[in-house]
Copies of this chain bind each other. A is one copy, B any other.
Amino acid sequence: MYKLTEIEGGVCAANGFYADGVSAGLKADMAKDMAFIYSEKKCEIASIFTTNKMAAAPIRHCKAKGEFQTNFVLINSKNANAMTGNAGVEDINEILATLPANIENPVMSSTGVIGVRIPKDKIIAGAKLFDLTKKDADAAAQAIMTTDTFSKQIAYKIELEDGSSFHIGAMAKGAGMINPAMATMLCFITTDANIAKEEMQAALNKNVQTTFNAASVDGDTSTNDTVLLLSNAKSGAYHAEAFEKALHKIMLFLAREMVRDGEGATKLVTYNVSGAKSDAEAEIVAKALSNSLLVKTALYGQDPNWGRIASTVGASGAYAVEEKLTISFNDICVYKKGELFFDEAMEKKASKVMQLNTFTISCDLGIAEGKFTSFGCDLGYEYVKINADYRT
Protein backbone atom coordinates (compact mmCIF):
# COMPACT_ATOMS: atom_id res chain seq x y z
CA MET A 1 0.00 0.00 0.00
CA TYR A 2 1.00 3.61 -0.51
CA LYS A 3 -0.48 7.07 -0.15
CA LEU A 4 -0.47 9.86 -2.78
CA THR A 5 -0.83 13.44 -1.56
CA GLU A 6 -0.84 16.51 -3.78
CA ILE A 7 1.63 19.07 -2.39
CA GLU A 8 3.04 22.52 -3.21
CA GLY A 9 6.51 23.13 -4.60
CA GLY A 10 6.37 22.19 -8.29
CA VAL A 11 9.78 21.16 -9.64
CA CYS A 12 11.34 21.97 -6.21
CA ALA A 13 9.08 19.54 -4.31
CA ALA A 14 11.50 16.63 -4.69
CA ASN A 15 14.50 16.75 -2.33
CA GLY A 16 17.70 18.23 -3.70
CA PHE A 17 16.11 20.17 -6.58
CA TYR A 18 16.44 23.94 -6.97
CA ALA A 19 14.85 26.28 -9.52
CA ASP A 20 14.27 29.96 -10.23
CA GLY A 21 13.21 32.34 -12.96
CA VAL A 22 14.95 35.60 -13.92
CA SER A 23 14.62 38.32 -16.52
CA ALA A 24 17.24 38.52 -19.25
CA GLY A 25 15.38 41.19 -21.22
CA LEU A 26 14.03 38.79 -23.88
CA LYS A 27 10.41 39.55 -22.94
CA ALA A 28 9.16 43.14 -22.69
CA ASP A 29 8.66 44.86 -19.31
CA MET A 30 11.42 42.83 -17.65
CA ALA A 31 9.08 39.81 -17.30
CA LYS A 32 10.82 36.57 -16.33
CA ASP A 33 12.11 34.79 -19.44
CA MET A 34 14.89 32.43 -18.24
CA ALA A 35 14.65 29.55 -15.78
CA PHE A 36 16.89 26.79 -14.46
CA ILE A 37 16.42 23.45 -12.74
CA TYR A 38 19.46 22.43 -10.66
CA SER A 39 20.01 19.23 -8.68
CA GLU A 40 22.65 18.73 -5.95
CA LYS A 41 23.21 15.25 -7.34
CA LYS A 42 23.61 14.33 -10.98
CA CYS A 43 20.31 13.02 -12.37
CA GLU A 44 19.27 10.16 -14.58
CA ILE A 45 17.18 11.53 -17.43
CA ALA A 46 14.22 10.23 -19.40
CA SER A 47 13.06 12.33 -22.34
CA ILE A 48 10.53 12.62 -25.13
CA PHE A 49 11.02 15.07 -27.96
CA THR A 50 8.98 16.36 -30.89
CA THR A 51 8.50 14.19 -33.97
CA ASN A 52 8.78 17.32 -36.12
CA LYS A 53 11.50 16.78 -38.75
CA MET A 54 12.63 20.38 -38.17
CA ALA A 55 13.49 19.62 -34.52
CA ALA A 56 15.02 22.72 -32.88
CA ALA A 57 18.69 23.19 -31.98
CA PRO A 58 18.24 22.42 -28.22
CA ILE A 59 16.70 19.07 -29.16
CA ARG A 60 19.47 18.31 -31.68
CA HIS A 61 22.03 19.27 -29.00
CA CYS A 62 20.43 17.06 -26.35
CA LYS A 63 19.92 14.07 -28.66
CA ALA A 64 23.56 14.24 -29.81
CA LYS A 65 24.67 13.57 -26.23
CA GLY A 66 23.25 10.03 -26.35
CA GLU A 67 23.19 8.48 -22.86
CA PHE A 68 24.12 11.09 -20.25
CA GLN A 69 23.52 12.36 -16.74
CA THR A 70 23.23 16.01 -15.74
CA ASN A 71 22.44 18.30 -12.83
CA PHE A 72 21.27 21.34 -14.81
CA VAL A 73 18.63 22.40 -17.34
CA LEU A 74 18.65 25.94 -18.72
CA ILE A 75 15.35 27.14 -20.21
CA ASN A 76 14.47 30.31 -22.13
CA SER A 77 11.27 31.66 -23.66
CA LYS A 78 10.77 34.15 -26.57
CA ASN A 79 13.20 32.40 -28.98
CA ALA A 80 12.81 28.76 -30.08
CA ASN A 81 16.32 28.42 -31.56
CA ALA A 82 14.64 26.46 -34.38
CA MET A 83 15.59 26.45 -38.11
CA THR A 84 18.94 27.86 -36.98
CA GLY A 85 20.98 24.86 -38.15
CA ASN A 86 24.41 23.97 -36.77
CA ALA A 87 24.94 27.60 -35.81
CA GLY A 88 22.04 27.20 -33.38
CA VAL A 89 23.71 24.18 -31.75
CA GLU A 90 27.03 26.05 -31.55
CA ASP A 91 25.22 28.94 -29.84
CA ILE A 92 24.02 26.48 -27.18
CA ASN A 93 27.54 25.11 -26.63
CA GLU A 94 28.89 28.65 -26.22
CA ILE A 95 26.14 29.57 -23.76
CA LEU A 96 26.52 26.41 -21.65
CA ALA A 97 30.33 26.82 -21.53
CA THR A 98 29.86 29.99 -19.48
CA LEU A 99 28.02 28.20 -16.61
CA PRO A 100 29.76 27.65 -13.22
CA ALA A 101 32.13 24.70 -12.79
CA ASN A 102 29.81 22.68 -10.51
CA ILE A 103 27.34 22.32 -13.36
CA GLU A 104 27.87 19.06 -15.22
CA ASN A 105 26.76 18.23 -18.71
CA PRO A 106 23.99 20.88 -18.86
CA VAL A 107 21.21 20.87 -21.46
CA MET A 108 19.06 23.65 -22.81
CA SER A 109 15.39 23.99 -23.73
CA SER A 110 13.91 26.88 -25.72
CA THR A 111 10.51 28.17 -26.80
CA GLY A 112 9.49 31.17 -28.91
CA VAL A 113 9.94 32.48 -32.44
CA ILE A 114 11.30 30.18 -35.15
CA GLY A 115 14.05 31.15 -37.57
CA VAL A 116 15.93 33.77 -35.56
CA ARG A 117 19.38 33.16 -33.98
CA ILE A 118 19.18 33.08 -30.19
CA PRO A 119 20.38 36.31 -28.49
CA LYS A 120 23.47 34.63 -27.03
CA ASP A 121 24.83 37.60 -25.07
CA LYS A 122 21.53 38.27 -23.32
CA ILE A 123 21.19 34.59 -22.39
CA ILE A 124 24.76 34.43 -21.04
CA ALA A 125 24.19 37.60 -19.01
CA GLY A 126 20.85 36.22 -17.78
CA ALA A 127 22.42 32.97 -16.61
CA LYS A 128 24.82 34.99 -14.44
CA LEU A 129 21.75 36.13 -12.44
CA PHE A 130 20.93 32.53 -11.43
CA ASP A 131 21.20 31.71 -7.71
CA LEU A 132 21.52 27.93 -7.47
CA THR A 133 20.38 27.91 -3.81
CA LYS A 134 16.91 29.26 -4.73
CA LYS A 135 13.84 27.02 -4.59
CA ASP A 136 11.39 29.29 -6.41
CA ALA A 137 9.38 26.88 -8.58
CA ASP A 138 6.73 29.58 -9.19
CA ALA A 139 9.28 31.93 -10.75
CA ALA A 140 10.62 29.14 -12.96
CA ALA A 141 7.12 28.17 -14.12
CA GLN A 142 6.38 31.81 -14.97
CA ALA A 143 9.63 32.31 -16.85
CA ILE A 144 8.87 29.52 -19.36
CA MET A 145 5.43 30.92 -20.32
CA THR A 146 4.76 32.42 -23.77
CA THR A 147 1.09 33.05 -24.63
CA ASP A 148 0.07 30.99 -21.56
CA THR A 149 -2.30 32.95 -19.33
CA PHE A 150 -1.40 31.02 -16.15
CA SER A 151 1.58 28.92 -15.05
CA LYS A 152 1.21 25.15 -14.76
CA GLN A 153 2.73 23.20 -11.87
CA ILE A 154 1.90 20.20 -9.74
CA ALA A 155 3.65 17.90 -7.24
CA TYR A 156 2.90 14.71 -5.31
CA LYS A 157 4.35 13.16 -2.15
CA ILE A 158 4.21 9.36 -2.21
CA GLU A 159 4.36 7.69 1.26
CA LEU A 160 5.15 3.97 1.32
CA GLU A 161 4.19 1.37 3.94
CA ASP A 162 7.75 1.11 5.33
CA GLY A 163 7.66 4.82 6.32
CA SER A 164 9.88 5.93 3.45
CA SER A 165 8.64 8.46 0.89
CA PHE A 166 9.54 10.16 -2.37
CA HIS A 167 8.29 13.08 -4.45
CA ILE A 168 7.51 13.95 -8.05
CA GLY A 169 7.07 17.55 -9.14
CA ALA A 170 6.57 19.16 -12.54
CA MET A 171 6.01 22.34 -14.50
CA ALA A 172 4.87 22.79 -18.08
CA LYS A 173 3.96 25.40 -20.64
CA GLY A 174 1.56 25.24 -23.56
CA ALA A 175 -0.80 27.91 -24.93
CA GLY A 176 -0.61 26.59 -28.43
CA MET A 177 0.12 23.19 -26.97
CA ILE A 178 1.37 22.22 -30.33
CA ASN A 179 2.14 25.49 -31.90
CA PRO A 180 5.07 26.36 -34.12
CA ALA A 181 6.48 29.88 -34.14
CA MET A 182 5.81 30.70 -30.55
CA ALA A 183 4.34 28.47 -27.97
CA THR A 184 5.84 25.00 -27.93
CA MET A 185 4.95 22.47 -25.33
CA LEU A 186 7.64 22.04 -22.67
CA CYS A 187 7.34 19.92 -19.53
CA PHE A 188 9.91 19.32 -16.81
CA ILE A 189 9.38 16.66 -14.15
CA THR A 190 11.71 16.18 -11.16
CA THR A 191 11.77 13.28 -8.71
CA ASP A 192 13.87 12.06 -5.81
CA ALA A 193 12.54 8.50 -6.24
CA ASN A 194 15.20 5.83 -6.39
CA ILE A 195 14.10 4.75 -9.85
CA ALA A 196 16.13 2.98 -12.53
CA LYS A 197 16.68 4.91 -15.75
CA GLU A 198 14.94 2.26 -17.89
CA GLU A 199 11.84 2.39 -15.69
CA MET A 200 11.78 6.20 -15.92
CA GLN A 201 11.80 6.14 -19.69
CA ALA A 202 9.22 3.34 -19.86
CA ALA A 203 6.87 5.18 -17.48
CA LEU A 204 7.28 8.39 -19.49
CA ASN A 205 6.67 6.69 -22.84
CA LYS A 206 3.60 4.86 -21.56
CA ASN A 207 1.96 7.90 -19.98
CA VAL A 208 2.65 10.37 -22.77
CA GLN A 209 0.23 8.49 -25.07
CA THR A 210 -2.82 9.13 -22.89
CA THR A 211 -1.82 12.60 -21.67
CA PHE A 212 0.21 15.02 -23.81
CA ASN A 213 -0.25 13.03 -27.02
CA ALA A 214 -4.02 12.95 -26.39
CA ALA A 215 -4.22 16.75 -26.12
CA SER A 216 -4.50 19.23 -28.95
CA VAL A 217 -5.00 22.96 -29.17
CA ASP A 218 -4.48 23.47 -32.89
CA GLY A 219 -3.19 20.22 -34.38
CA ASP A 220 0.20 21.75 -35.23
CA THR A 221 3.21 19.84 -33.89
CA SER A 222 5.92 22.20 -32.73
CA THR A 223 9.63 22.11 -33.52
CA ASN A 224 10.47 22.27 -29.78
CA ASP A 225 8.14 19.92 -27.86
CA THR A 226 10.07 18.42 -24.97
CA VAL A 227 9.23 16.37 -21.88
CA LEU A 228 12.17 15.81 -19.49
CA LEU A 229 12.01 13.65 -16.36
CA LEU A 230 14.97 14.11 -14.00
CA SER A 231 15.63 11.80 -11.06
CA ASN A 232 18.35 12.33 -8.42
CA ALA A 233 17.29 9.27 -6.32
CA LYS A 234 17.82 11.38 -3.17
CA SER A 235 14.91 9.90 -1.20
CA GLY A 236 16.25 6.37 -1.55
CA ALA A 237 12.59 5.26 -1.81
CA TYR A 238 10.66 3.81 -4.79
CA HIS A 239 7.47 1.90 -5.53
CA ALA A 240 6.78 1.17 -9.17
CA GLU A 241 2.96 1.24 -9.08
CA ALA A 242 2.85 4.36 -6.89
CA PHE A 243 5.39 6.16 -9.07
CA GLU A 244 3.51 5.23 -12.21
CA LYS A 245 0.20 6.38 -10.72
CA ALA A 246 1.58 9.72 -9.52
CA LEU A 247 3.36 10.31 -12.85
CA HIS A 248 0.14 9.65 -14.74
CA LYS A 249 -1.79 12.07 -12.52
CA ILE A 250 0.89 14.74 -13.04
CA MET A 251 1.09 14.35 -16.81
CA LEU A 252 -2.71 14.17 -17.22
CA PHE A 253 -3.18 17.27 -15.05
CA LEU A 254 -0.61 19.28 -17.02
CA ALA A 255 -1.90 18.09 -20.41
CA ARG A 256 -5.45 19.13 -19.48
CA GLU A 257 -4.25 22.44 -18.04
CA MET A 258 -2.45 23.16 -21.31
CA VAL A 259 -5.61 22.60 -23.33
CA ARG A 260 -7.69 24.61 -20.84
CA ASP A 261 -5.17 27.45 -21.36
CA GLY A 262 -5.02 26.87 -25.14
CA GLU A 263 -4.73 30.05 -27.17
CA GLY A 264 -8.08 31.80 -26.99
CA ALA A 265 -9.76 28.71 -25.52
CA THR A 266 -12.86 29.06 -23.34
CA LYS A 267 -13.70 25.35 -23.01
CA LEU A 268 -11.92 22.10 -22.16
CA VAL A 269 -13.70 19.16 -23.79
CA THR A 270 -13.00 15.46 -23.24
CA TYR A 271 -13.76 13.21 -26.22
CA ASN A 272 -14.57 9.69 -25.03
CA VAL A 273 -14.54 7.41 -28.04
CA SER A 274 -15.57 3.78 -27.51
CA GLY A 275 -16.88 0.82 -29.49
CA ALA A 276 -14.31 1.27 -32.28
CA LYS A 277 -12.76 -1.56 -34.28
CA SER A 278 -9.52 -1.10 -32.28
CA ASP A 279 -7.90 1.31 -29.83
CA ALA A 280 -5.91 2.72 -32.76
CA GLU A 281 -9.12 3.49 -34.70
CA ALA A 282 -10.67 5.03 -31.56
CA GLU A 283 -7.59 7.26 -31.30
CA ILE A 284 -7.99 8.36 -34.94
CA VAL A 285 -11.62 9.33 -34.26
CA ALA A 286 -10.87 11.06 -30.91
CA LYS A 287 -8.09 13.14 -32.48
CA ALA A 288 -10.19 13.97 -35.55
CA LEU A 289 -12.86 15.34 -33.18
CA SER A 290 -10.46 17.43 -31.08
CA ASN A 291 -8.91 18.88 -34.28
CA SER A 292 -12.02 19.51 -36.40
CA LEU A 293 -12.50 23.21 -37.10
CA LEU A 294 -16.24 22.71 -37.41
CA VAL A 295 -16.49 20.93 -34.07
CA LYS A 296 -14.25 23.55 -32.40
CA THR A 297 -16.28 26.49 -33.72
CA ALA A 298 -19.54 24.77 -32.69
CA LEU A 299 -18.09 24.45 -29.15
CA TYR A 300 -17.26 28.14 -29.20
CA GLY A 301 -20.80 28.94 -30.35
CA GLN A 302 -22.17 26.61 -27.61
CA ASP A 303 -24.14 24.89 -30.36
CA PRO A 304 -24.99 21.19 -29.71
CA ASN A 305 -24.46 20.51 -33.42
CA TRP A 306 -24.21 16.71 -33.25
CA GLY A 307 -24.31 16.46 -37.05
CA ARG A 308 -20.78 17.85 -37.16
CA ILE A 309 -19.68 15.22 -34.62
CA ALA A 310 -21.21 12.45 -36.78
CA SER A 311 -19.69 13.83 -39.96
CA THR A 312 -16.23 14.10 -38.36
CA VAL A 313 -16.47 10.49 -37.15
CA GLY A 314 -17.39 9.47 -40.70
CA ALA A 315 -14.60 11.50 -42.29
CA SER A 316 -11.90 10.34 -39.87
CA GLY A 317 -11.03 7.24 -41.87
CA ALA A 318 -11.99 4.84 -39.05
CA TYR A 319 -14.60 2.18 -39.71
CA ALA A 320 -18.04 3.51 -38.73
CA VAL A 321 -21.67 2.84 -39.59
CA GLU A 322 -24.48 5.39 -39.26
CA GLU A 323 -26.90 2.86 -37.74
CA LYS A 324 -24.48 1.81 -34.95
CA LEU A 325 -23.30 5.22 -33.77
CA THR A 326 -24.38 6.83 -30.47
CA ILE A 327 -23.46 10.41 -29.48
CA SER A 328 -23.85 12.03 -26.04
CA PHE A 329 -23.03 15.43 -24.52
CA ASN A 330 -22.26 14.54 -20.87
CA ASP A 331 -25.23 12.28 -20.00
CA ILE A 332 -27.54 13.73 -22.67
CA CYS A 333 -27.80 11.26 -25.57
CA VAL A 334 -28.45 13.25 -28.77
CA TYR A 335 -28.30 10.50 -31.42
CA LYS A 336 -28.68 6.76 -31.02
CA LYS A 337 -28.13 4.12 -33.71
CA GLY A 338 -30.13 5.65 -36.52
CA GLU A 339 -32.86 7.15 -34.34
CA LEU A 340 -33.56 10.85 -34.91
CA PHE A 341 -35.04 12.26 -31.70
CA PHE A 342 -33.23 15.59 -31.37
CA ASP A 343 -36.20 17.89 -30.81
CA GLU A 344 -36.40 21.34 -29.22
CA ALA A 345 -36.59 19.97 -25.67
CA MET A 346 -33.45 17.85 -26.25
CA GLU A 347 -31.68 20.79 -27.83
CA LYS A 348 -32.38 22.87 -24.71
CA LYS A 349 -30.87 20.17 -22.47
CA ALA A 350 -27.83 19.70 -24.72
CA SER A 351 -27.31 23.47 -24.96
CA LYS A 352 -27.03 23.62 -21.16
CA VAL A 353 -24.14 21.13 -21.30
CA MET A 354 -22.45 23.19 -24.05
CA GLN A 355 -22.54 26.24 -21.79
CA LEU A 356 -20.27 24.52 -19.24
CA ASN A 357 -16.53 25.27 -19.26
CA THR A 358 -15.65 21.59 -19.04
CA PHE A 359 -17.68 18.67 -20.36
CA THR A 360 -17.48 15.36 -22.18
CA ILE A 361 -18.59 14.37 -25.67
CA SER A 362 -18.96 10.61 -25.99
CA CYS A 363 -19.08 8.68 -29.27
CA ASP A 364 -19.85 4.98 -29.10
CA LEU A 365 -19.19 3.52 -32.56
CA GLY A 366 -20.95 0.29 -31.59
CA ILE A 367 -18.58 -1.87 -33.64
CA ALA A 368 -16.14 -3.51 -31.18
CA GLU A 369 -14.20 -2.69 -28.00
CA GLY A 370 -11.61 -0.07 -29.14
CA LYS A 371 -11.47 3.08 -27.01
CA PHE A 372 -9.46 6.28 -26.60
CA THR A 373 -9.91 9.59 -24.79
CA SER A 374 -8.61 12.88 -26.18
CA PHE A 375 -8.73 16.47 -24.93
CA GLY A 376 -9.52 19.52 -27.01
CA CYS A 377 -10.65 23.11 -26.76
CA ASP A 378 -12.84 25.46 -28.74
CA LEU A 379 -11.70 27.91 -31.42
CA GLY A 380 -12.95 31.48 -31.24
CA TYR A 381 -12.09 35.01 -32.27
CA GLU A 382 -9.30 35.20 -29.68
CA TYR A 383 -7.38 32.33 -31.34
CA VAL A 384 -7.46 34.20 -34.65
CA LYS A 385 -6.41 37.41 -32.93
CA ILE A 386 -3.44 35.81 -31.15
CA ASN A 387 -2.19 34.01 -34.24
CA ALA A 388 -2.89 36.61 -36.90
CA ASP A 389 -1.13 39.30 -34.88
CA TYR A 390 1.62 37.27 -33.26
CA ARG A 391 4.86 38.45 -34.82
CA THR A 392 3.88 42.10 -35.17
Spell out A's residues near B (CB within 8 Å).
51-55, 80, 82-87, 113-117, 176, 179-181, 218-223, 292-294, 297-298, 300-301, 303, 305-308, 310-315, 318-323, 325, 335, 338, 340, 342, 379-381, 383-385, 387-392
Contacting pair B340 A305 (CB below 8 A): no
Cα(A382)–Cα(B117), bound, Å: 36
Q: Please name the residue on chain B nearest to A339 by beta carbon.
A: B85
**Seed contacts A83-B340, A220-B311; 14 additional CB < 8 Å A-B pairs:** A53-B318, A54-B320, A54-B325, A84-B340, A114-B308, A114-B310, A115-B340, A181-B298, A181-B305, A220-B315, A221-B311, A297-B387, A303-B388, A305-B391
Contacting pair A311 B85 (CB below 8 A): no
Q: Please name the residue on chain B nearest to A322 by beta carbon.
A: B54
Contacts of A320 in B (CB 8 A): 53-54
User: Which one of A52, A312, A319, A384 has the highest number of Cβ atoms from chain B below 10 Å of its Cβ?
Assistant: A384
Contacts of A115 in B (CB 8 A): 306-307, 310, 335, 340, 342
Contacts of A297 in B (CB 8 A): 383-384, 387-388
Q: Please name the residue on chain B nearest to A116 by beta carbon.
A: B340
User: Which one of A80, A114, A306 has the highest number of Cβ atoms from chain B below 10 Å of its Cβ?
Assistant: A114
Contacting pair B54 A294 (CB below 8 A): no
Contacts of A223 in B (CB 8 A): 310-311, 314
User: Among B84, B176, B301, B338, which residue has its beta carbon within 8 angstroms of that of A294?
Assistant: B176
Contacting pair B388 A298 (CB below 8 A): yes
Contacts of A221 in B (CB 8 A): 311, 314-315
Contacts of A84 in B (CB 8 A): 340
Contacts of A54 in B (CB 8 A): 310-311, 313-315, 320, 322, 325
Q: Please name the residue on chain B nearest to A297 by beta carbon.
A: B387
Cα(A80)–Cα(B293), bound, Å: 19
Contacting pair A311 B82 (CB below 8 A): yes
A223 → chain B closest CB, angstroms:
5
Q: Please name the residue on chain B nearest to A325 by beta carbon.
A: B54
Cα(A388)–Cα(B354), bound, Å: 12
Contacting pair A323 B388 (CB below 8 A): no
Cα(A307)–Cα(B179), bound, Å: 11
A366 → chain B closest CB, angstroms:
13
A80 → chain B closest CB, angstroms:
8
User: Among B180, B303, B325, B384, which residue has its beta carbon within 8 angstroms of that of A311?
Assistant: B180
Q: Please name the residue on chain B nearest to A306 by beta carbon.
A: B115
Contacts of A116 in B (CB 8 A): 340
Contacting pair A384 B381 (CB below 8 A): yes
A55 → chain B closest CB, angstroms:
7
Cα(A314)–Cα(B292), bound, Å: 21
